[in-house]
Amino acid sequence: MVSTWVPDVSPDTPFSLANIPFGIISTSADPAPHAAIAIGSQVLDLKVLSSHLAFTEVLPALKDHSRVFSQPTLNEFAALGRSVHRDVRRAIQDLLSVETSHPEILKDDAGLREKALLPRQSVKMHLPMSIGDYTDFYAGFHHAYAVGAMFRGPQTALQPNYTHLPVGYHGRSSSIVVSGTPIRRPVGQIIIDPTAEPKQPTTAPSRRLDIELELGCFIAAPNEMGTPIKVTHAEDHIFGYVLLNDWSARDIQMWEYIPLGPFNGKNFATSISPWVVLADALEPFRTKGIDNWTPLQGYLNEGKEENVFDIELQIDLQTPQGDATTISTTSSKYLLWSFPQMIAHHSLGGCPLRTGDLLGSGTISGPSLNERGSLLELSEGGKKDIMLYGMDVRRFLKDGDTVIIRGICGKPGERVGFGECVGRILEATWP
């Protein structure tokens, strides 16, 4: 990978020239949300860049879409398809490289640089997509097994259908928020004494507020209703990926989830990182997922082994006093099902996926205790303390706690990362 002329691009930045993630920003000069990319500690304002007379010369794939980066979301750009995303990413990489073929447009144009290259800390981030629908899967094998064993025992930890199909449920898109948005502790029906019979719920703030470390996938090209997406074509329907925290109120969830699945225990908030890492940027980090010992139905057979990504994932918990502890490190490779398989199954019955729809991987955990992607697992069902810096402990989240999720892959100077997915817990508001 060639180097960039952009100043202050650290070898350890997640936003190297090898990445070029897309997001939606607003600035002091232009408060209307619009598109940008991240490069090192700066952003390139694509709306400003698109005002240059030679914009379509540099980005010929957008000659009929010159205002695509002036839109308040990335949906219109995502809908153009993966070949356009690939061409645009390559053109921006060339524009920002030391050996750019168009030095006159940005590298040697001080006036344009001043307007278009901005410190990342000076801009406000927004949700990158308008999200019509959100489906959360359960593809993290070690999480599914650990939680199943916790409640049903190791012999019946996995439900009979688990290795036959990607299990999922429909979440709530209206409560998906961008990183940095505070999260209000939910109120719901909980069981104070689980041993009492008959069960008697109490309405109260959740006492077992948790996190779930996930990878999110945005849909690019839609499919028509009644037309399934073949697993071998599913990659063409993927725009890019984000980090995702599926906040979970375990006590509310436990009381409500039978027989129809999660509801208020999940629908109060989901956080995502602001920068969408394009699918092509993650191609070098493909690896083999977890072996599925069950023969697959034909529509789920991808015909290749390297169908997931090896992204280094990390969870930090910061207390209200400001002390931070890394409580888990794991990898996105610990998935039983790939996103193309999720897409193929989701659309099997003819369900139309639309541009901007978000799919969650399900909680990603590794095989060891320090690789677990939720407090439920790290505390072994709320029975053991999680040690934090300064002799503090947690089993579940307290008001004022901040959770920071990070994801990165690649070597120094060529890192491809997501930045941070952050949320701070606020006290509950009673109805």
Residue of 65, 85, 143, 346 marked catalytic: 143
Closest to 307 in 3D by CA, of 294, 328, 292:
292
Q: Is 170 a catalytic residue?
A: no
Instruction: State the Cα–Cα distance between residues 327 and 74, nearest whole angstrom.
Output: 33
Strand-pairing partners, residue 38, are 43
Long-range contacts of 89-92 (CB under 8 A, 24+ apart): 89/20, 89/278, 89/280, 89/281, 91/58, 91/59, 91/61, 92/20, 92/37, 92/44, 92/59
Residue pointed to by tokens 């920068």:
275
Can you read off the two tokens belonging to residue 216? 């999110």
List active site positions: 143
